[in-house]
A and B are shown apart, each in its own frame.
Chain A
């Protein structure tokens, strides 16, 4: 556990209303004589009504954790209570209470959209009339009405994803798991999906636990972010708190040459920009106030600043501070469809 993360331990006990608690949750896979520790002693807790994003690169163990919590995979060790039911002793109780939207498209391809919702209602023991009413409600709220009589295979990616969410919500679960809900969607469909997720939480108070490798998704959507890497949870707090405690604002000062940049570094600290040695990068808790102070300081020292920018920290800065790697680059390397890295200031 990195030292920086200790600042995140000062949490108040939430007491009752825990929707998920897990202690020492571990999953080891054996394949070809090798043991792979996919999830290593993960502790987590999610209170009722929270929207938590589980962030990490592909292969970090997010989905495996989710699959254990949803009873799809038995845990190697550790324990967890989900929606009040123990995942080992009462998996059926967990299944009755949760909604789950997996990574794949969950509607049968040859099925019609409305039929699939009706089938899902029956799977959760809803009566015929109740199922029909609920299906109509979800078709309406997720903007699937015009496609109700179409086959699932004729839907677009975004429409399929909305159907997946509708299927996950048919029984009004108190807790909804979303595994990579927006992966593979175009930006417009992603934004639309986020709106639906936010709206769902606002109107029903459903607890939502989602995995994502999109930094902006975790940042904008979730009120709490858990960062996972190599099977461990390495940070857990609000996005704002994580960025403040770990990353800080990035101030970039440009100079006429490398010599001025080194002289400025001697006064202010900071690191030279790897892309341009005539630039100095500083990390400050409050960049807007620190920047004029630095400018005054450098002016007194007779060092001329050519350019000066500051930007708020991103969750990628948090990941970088915790692991020394960039999540954005990891996703790109893994063939992810992450947006190209924004040009540094």
Chain B
């Protein structure tokens, strides 16, 4: 290419001289907060347009509540209300787990079409691209958690309202972090859908069972209790049980809050790093 010194055309277009670029607005600078809000609004819009999609990811937790709950009542030999008091908080954590774990699939799909590339060329902060998406998890989580509780109340579940609100906040913090991890996984898998779903399926059920949300782990073998001790979800389940019962002073509440904050921090840091490397 060295022989072409200046490849400007030798002949100007004769038919249509381009109009001067007058009236073109100056490019605008945006900041992290504004970018995050813009991404959050875009991600949330399909939920607003089609609110029933929020119910879709509720199917599995409600199945567990409706089909596993009665078995639990029979096996434990306790009364329905007492069993629900123990079981429903776990279902709330399940909602947070399953709702946010697959959110990366949306990004995966947008990476394969071209929407993600479009956002990478836009003057958006890379951090905002991740944080805005992760924050979007909060809204459906609040709605879903509330629905699960409302479904359980007629069966004798008694709820402490301030405890529920605080419990939902803890879940939201966890959901942001876990959603961010799901996006990180999507960014790592790029066009390998199978890898995303394989990791997703491989991790989800052990995380669920080793949290004690379905059956108590106190009677399990030693290694399971050790595994639960390093599973942030088991702290979350403990905290939700205490909060929904109105026991704000329980040590489990602090443990769950710490687990949620740590998950959130790790998810956002790892996710932002992955997004910065995104192509």
Contact = CB atoms under 8 A, between A and B. Distances in A.
Interface of A: 1, 5-6, 8-14, 41-45, 47-51, 70-73, 92-93, 95-98, 100, 102-112, 115-116, 119-120, 122-126, 164, 167, 171-172, 174, 201-206, 223-224, 226, 232-233, 236-238, 240-241
23 contacts: A1-B3, A9-B4, A14-B8, A41-B1, A43-B2, A50-B9, A102-B118, A102-B121, A103-B114, A105-B114, A115-B45, A119-B41, A119-B45, A122-B34, A123-B42, A124-B28, A125-B123, A202-B19, A204-B18, A204-B19, A232-B1, A233-B4, A238-B11
Contact of B279 (A72, A93, A167, A172): A72
Contacts of B18: 49, 201-202, 204-206
A11 B21 contact: no
B110 interface: yes
Contacts of A70: 121
B122 A95 contact: yes
Nearest to B125: A92
Given A13-B8, A48-B21, A72-B120, A119 B42 contact: yes
Please report whether the interface of chain A is mostly helix, strand, loop or mixed according to DSSP.
mixed
A120 B45 CA distance: 13
B19 A42 contact: no
A164 B1 CA distance: 33
Contacts of B5: 9, 11
B119 interface: yes
B16 A201 contact: yes
- Pick the 9 closest A-B CB pairs, nearest first: A104-B114, A125-B28, A205-B18, A96-B27, A119-B42, A122-B38, A49-B18, A236-B7, A106-B118
B10 A97 contact: no
A122 B109 contact: no
Contact of A125 (B34, B49, B115): B34
Contacts of A92: 123
Contacts of A201: 16, 18
A105 B113 contact: yes
Interface in B231-249: none
B13 A14 contact: no
A122 B122 CA distance: 10
Contacts of B115: 104-109
A109 B107 CA distance: 11
A164 B114 CA distance: 10
Contacts, number: 178
A226 B4 CA distance: 12
A124 B1 contact: no
Interface string B22-33: 001101111000
Contact of A104 (B16, B113, B124): B113
A12 B4 contact: no
A163 to B, nearest CB: 11
B28 A126 contact: yes
B118 A100 contact: yes
B21 A237 contact: no
B46 interface: yes
B154 interface: no
B4 A123 contact: no
Nearest to B111: A104
A201 B18 CA distance: 7
B117 A102 contact: yes
B6 interface: yes
A106 B117 contact: yes
B38 A205 contact: no
Given A92-B123, A107-B115, 12 more contacts: A9-B3, A43-B4, A102-B114, A106-B118, A112-B49, A115-B42, A115-B45, A123-B35, A123-B122, A124-B28, A125-B30, A233-B4
Contacts of B77: none
Contact of B110 (A14, A47, A108, A236): A108
A100 B114 CA distance: 11
Contact of A171 (B25, B112, B118): B25
Given A1-B1, A103-B114, A203-B19, A47 B7 contact: no
A124 B160 CA distance: 45
B20 interface: yes
B21 A236 contact: no
B38 A119 contact: yes
Which of B25, B29, B35, B279 lies at the interface centre, i.e. has the most chain A CB atoms within 10 A of its CB? B25
B137 to A, nearest CB: 16
A177 B271 CA distance: 29
Nearest to B49: A112
Contacts of B29: 96, 125
Contact of A223 (B9, B39, B110): B9
B121 A109 contact: no
A104 B92 CA distance: 38
A277 to B, nearest CB: 38
Contacts of B21: 48-49, 174, 204-206
A205 B124 contact: no
Contacts of A224: 9
Given A1-B1, A232-B1, A96 B41 contact: no
Contacts of A223: 9, 13
